[in-house]
Amino acid sequence: MANPAIDPAAMSLSAAARRLPGRNGTHANPSTVARWVHKGATGADGARVKLVAIRLGGTLYVTEQALADFLAALNGPPAADVPPRSPAARRKAADEAVRKLNAMGA
């Protein structure tokens, strides 16, 4: 990511939060954006995705591109759909689980 002093698209986390919709017609909370930077969020495929930010002095900055990439990763295509098991397959798996539990003495 470019240096926010050089990149005019860089913005503080609070400025980024003001650009994102929140609930009840408000904007997102800056702590939400900070959480995305530090802990990330679960994407559509189940993987953890973090918002890329840089620290300049004591302030974290994100760019429009980093925010767009983060949101695209969150809303990407979901993991491949696994077809539901047939009743016979479920019954077979349940019977196998019972056999294993009985073998363990449960």
pLDDT of residue 67: 94
Sole residue written with tokens 């650009």: 19
CB 30 within 8 A of CB 17: yes
pLDDT of residue 43: 87
Pairwise pLDDT comparison (104 vs 2), residue with the higher score: 104
Q: How far apart are CA 49 and CA 76, in angstroms?
A: 11
Pairwise pLDDT comparison (9 vs 99), residue with the higher score: 99
Position 63 pLDDT exceeds 90: yes
- Joined together, the tokens standing for residue 93 give 């798996």
pLDDT of residue 79: 64
Residue 91's pLDDT band, with cuts at 50, 70 and 90, is very high
Pairwise pLDDT comparison (43 vs 29), residue with the higher score: 29
> Mean pLDDT, to the nearest integer, of 61-70?
94
Q: How far apart are CA 9 and CA 68, in angstroms?
A: 12
Chain-wide mean pLDDT for the chain? 88
Residue 30's pLDDT band, with cuts at 50, 70 and 90, is very high
Residue ranges of E strands in 1-106: 11-12, 41-42, 48-49, 54-56, 59-62
Mapping DSSP to helix (H, G, I), strand (E, B) and coil, where does residue 78 land? coil
Position 53 pLDDT exceeds 80: yes
Sole residue written with tokens 């939400």: 32
